[in-house]
């Protein structure tokens, strides 16, 4: 059985923009669940989404455990061997308190990709196939979160090109979620179920394409 780890924030965890128990989409609605269903029984899809997760920053408000760097290596060692590692982070880094440029946000994701490359957690100590996903841009109307994400919409529009360049420099594959889906108008930065479905299938297609070319 092949495995893929989906490492992300609330949009990987399945934060619901529509009424759901506990405010979370059901397993089959979340994009990792769609990925699992699309890839089939030969694949184990491991969901590692945490609401509020940053790329490489401690969060003085929401908690130090939100730092994507400090949890990453234990996560990798827990789930090894890993065939594919897919990462979609950066939306949380748009919060005004982090005061980061789009380039810096992409560099944070790049630092995490570097950890995966050095960890030797693929089959027989190899490097997993790497997929970097640029999150869909935040909308201009962020509702009650507008102060939290001051300037976030404008910055989010530039993430994809920086992620693309970073992924190419590190030998990772790239998906621009913003070319496929848009954030929900309910809050401006989370995904609707239909967007999860599109994203999950796109990641499955990318995995099939990568493995077919090897």
What CATH number does residue 185 fall under? 3.40.50.1110
Q: What is the pTM of this model?
A: 0.98
With 0-12 CB in 10 A as exposed, 13-18 as middle and 19+ as buried, what is 109? buried
Quote the pLDDT of residue 212.
80
Asked if residue 214 has pLDDT above 60, the reply is: no
Q: Which distant-in-sequence residues (6+ apart) come within 8 Å of 15 by Cβ?
A: 23, 24, 25, 51, 190
**Alpha helix positions (H), the chain:** 10-13, 31-39, 68-79, 102-119, 152-156, 159-170, 193-212
Asked if residue 179 has pLDDT above 80, the reply is: yes
- 8 A C-beta contact, residue 180 and residue 5: no
- 8 A C-beta contact, residue 177 and residue 96: no
Q: How many domains does the chain have?
A: 1
What is the extent of the structural domain holding 16? 2-212
Give 59-98 pLDDT, tens digit per residue: 999 999 999 999 999 999 999 999 999 999 999 999 999 9
Give 29-39 pLDDT, tens digit per residue: 999 999 999 99
Distance CA 71, CA 52 (A): 13
């Amino acid at each position: 059985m092949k495995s893929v780890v989906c490492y992300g924030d609330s949009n990987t965890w399945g934060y619901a923009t529509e009424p759901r128990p506990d405010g979370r989409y059901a397993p089959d609605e979340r994009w990792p669940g769609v990925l699992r269903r699309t890839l089939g029984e030969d694949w184990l899809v491991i969901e590692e989404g945490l609401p509020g997760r940053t790329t490489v920053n401690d969060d003085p408000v929401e908690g130090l455990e939100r730092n994507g760097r400090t949890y990453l290596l234990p996560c990798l060692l827990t789930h090894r061997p890993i065939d594919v590692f897919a990462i979609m982070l950066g939306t949380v880094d748009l919060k005004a308190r982090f005061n980061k440029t789009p380039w810096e946000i992409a560099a944070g994701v790049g630092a995490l990709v570097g950890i995966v490359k050095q960890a030797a957690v693929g089959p027989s100590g190899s490097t997993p196939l790497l997929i970097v996903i640029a999150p869909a841009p935040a909308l201009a109307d962020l509702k009650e979160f507008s102060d939290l994400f001051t300037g976030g919409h404008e910055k989010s529009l530039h993430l994809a090109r920086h992620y693309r360049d970073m992924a190419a420099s590190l030998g990772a594959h790239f998906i621009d979620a913003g070319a496929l889906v848009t954030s929900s108008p309910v809050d401006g930065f989370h995904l609707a179920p239909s967007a999860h479905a599109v994203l999950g299938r796109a990641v499955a297609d990318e995995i099939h394409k990568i493995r077919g070319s090897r």
